[in-house]
Structure 1
Amino acid sequence: MTKFQFLNQLNSSLKGLSSEEREDILQDFEEHFANGSVEGKSEEQIADSLGSPNQIAKELLATYHLEKVETTATTGNIIRAVWAVIGLGFFNLIIVLGPFIGLAAVVFAGWASGIAFIVSPLLLLIDIVIYPGGFEWFELFFSMALCGAGIFITVGMYYGTKVLMAQFLRYLKYNVSLVKGGLKNDE
């Protein structure tokens, strides 16, 4: 593969990045080709030593999306980061998607139960309007207790969601580092 073919393929694989970021990356790889030619290597040898442009683009996109999640942790950014990491390899489909679905289910269930507990007094009021003769004081106090528990659950879920997102982001970064070449031993 020639330098032109390599850079073209890399550029087309980096569609998700802005033109400035793509130009910076392409310039870095042009420098690799320039340094390799100074050492007497052919363009094909340099391209072979760099690896597949598609795989390089997948790794760069995964890193980009992970950095974007760190700066702006929105649901869309998290999902894009998860898909970018999954795109690094088939093995990541199981290693990343499984924990992501499990974590999302736990977070959703926590928020749903907290909110349901908070609105329990409203549901009691609706029940009283529909069946006025069925009112019992125990139900009122129990729904108020559930509302208080719901407030504690939602406050806990607020902080728990932040911690779980940060830990999952660390997990994604760890996974990307493994795919990029494994962990380096500092001995």
Structure 2
Amino acid sequence: MNKEQFLKQLEASLKRLSLEERQDILQDYEEYFAIGIDKGKSEQEISASLGNPRQIAKELLASYHLQQVEQTTSAGNIIRAVWAVIGLGFFNLVIVLGPLIALLGLVFSGWVMSVAFILAPFGILINLFIGEFRLFDLFASIGLCGIGIFIAMGMYVATKALFKGFVRYMKFNVSLVKGGLKHG
């Protein structure tokens, strides 16, 4: 594959990025070709040494989406980053999606538990209507509400830390796919 074919495939694969981002990336690869030609290599040798432009685009898109998550952590950015990392290879479906589902289950259950504890005093209202009000139930529900507030505070911190850790895990996965771990 010559330089023009390589750059066209790369540009087509990067169409989800902004025009400015694409131009920067394409300019970098044009420089790779210029340096290679100066060293006496042919365009085919350079393109072969760079690899498949579609795979390069997948790696660049995954890195780009992970950067977006670090700048603005939102559900949309996390989902785009997860799918970009999964797109790097079929094996990543298990390696990335499995931990994500476990993480979401853990976070969801923690938040549900905190909300249920916080809403425990409303159970006293039900007891009032039924006619089975006991003073112990009132104090127990107030205690559960306090525990729920502490759990919610802990879940807030834990949620942020878990998602930051998951982003680091995906970055590690991307670096592994890009070329393995560098032993230095």
TM-score bucket (shorter structure): over 0.9
In the alignment, structure 1 residue 78 sits paired with structure 2 residue 78: yes
Q: Who is 1:105 aligned against?
A: 105
Q: Who is 2:11 aligned against?
A: 11
Q: Who is 2:148 aligned against?
A: 150
Identity value in percent: 63
Find the aligned partners of 1:153 and 1:22 in 2 and give their Cα distance.
Answer: 45
Structure 1 ranges of 4+ moved more than 2 A? 126-129
Structure 1: 5+ residue runs without aligned partners? Answer: none
Code of the aligned partner of 1:167:
G
Q: What secondary structure does 1:114 align onto?
A: helix
Normalized against structure 1, the TM-score is what? 0.94
Q: What secondary structure does 1:120 align onto?
A: coil
In the alignment, structure 1 residue 24 sits paired with structure 2 residue 56: no
Q: How does 1:82-161 map to 2 (within 5 A)?
A: 82-129=82-129, 131=130, 133-161=131-159
In the alignment, structure 1 residue 54 sits paired with structure 2 residue 54: yes
In the alignment, structure 1 residue 175 sits paired with structure 2 residue 173: yes
Q: Who is 1:66 aligned against?
A: 66
Normalized against structure 2, the TM-score is what? 0.96
Residue 127 (structure 1) shift: 4.3
Range moving further from structure 2, 101-110 or 2-11: 2-11
Code of the aligned partner of 1:156:
G
Aligned residue-pair number: 184
Q: What secondary structure does 1:134 align onto?
A: coil
Q: Deviations over 1:11-65 (max 9, x none)?
A: 1111221110000000000111111112222221111111001100010011111
Find the aligned partners of 2:125 and 2:166 in 1 and give their Cα distance.
Answer: 40
Structure 2: 5+ residue runs without aligned partners? Answer: none
Find the aligned partners of 2:68 and 2:90 in 1 and give their Cα distance.
Answer: 23
Residue 124 (structure 1) shift: 2.6
Find the aligned partners of 2:127 and 2:72 in 1 and give their Cα distance.
Answer: 42
Q: Deviations over 1:98-118 (max 9, x none)?
A: 001000110011011101111
What is the alpha-carbon root mean square deviation over aligned residues? 1.1
